[in-house]
Amino acid sequence: MAGWVRVSEAEAEAHRLFGLGGWLRVVSALMVLAVPGGVVVAWQQWMDPALGGAALASNLLSLLVLGVQVGMAVLWFRRWPGFRLAYAAFAVLGTALLALADQAIGPPPGPPSTDPVGELVLEAAFHLTFLAAMQFSRRFRVTFEHRVRAGDVSCASA
């Protein structure tokens, strides 16, 4: 694989792959949907009487997750150059911390609504797929990091 060359912001914006088009539209839609989805989950957690003594911890955790979702959406739409690293930290640390918090808080009384291991595997697969797509996507690199492939002739003045 060819190396990546940093270009100016103007050169990146002139590149044919610059912008939140292509597969990045799907991610943009998911970022938009994650925020109201997070609000719904936080509200459900807040109003769930089955949590008992773990209600405060669960409520604070759901508000923290909502805050992180909003933060990631802001970084995405501002096309922050460090988004890939921030998302990797969110994926690894966030998934691990949520799994630990779920273990510490414990499940609500009654039958389990989901399989926690299956849910963790599905979440990890989603994060790894998205991280791999960011790593190898020319569109992502041009739009967020202002980098093009060394052999890319459409923006070769680097």
Taking only the tens place, the pLDDT of each residue in 53-87 is: 566 677 777 788 888 889 999 999 999 999 999 99
Taking only the tens place, the pLDDT of each residue in 97-107 is: 877 777 776 66
Q: Cα–Cα distance between 35 and 20 in angstroms, integer?
A: 18
Whether pLDDT at 113 is above 70: no
pLDDT score, position 29: 95
Angle at 123 between CA 116 and CA 147, to 5 degrees: 165
**62 or 40, higher pLDDT:** 40
3-state SS assignment for residue 24 = helix
Taking only the tens place, the pLDDT of each residue in 127-147 is: 999 999 999 999 999 999 999
Neighbouring residues of 105: CB distance < 8 A, sequence distance ≥ 6: 54, 57, 58, 61
Predicted TM-score (pTM) above 0.95: no
Residue 72 CB-half CA count within 13 A: 25
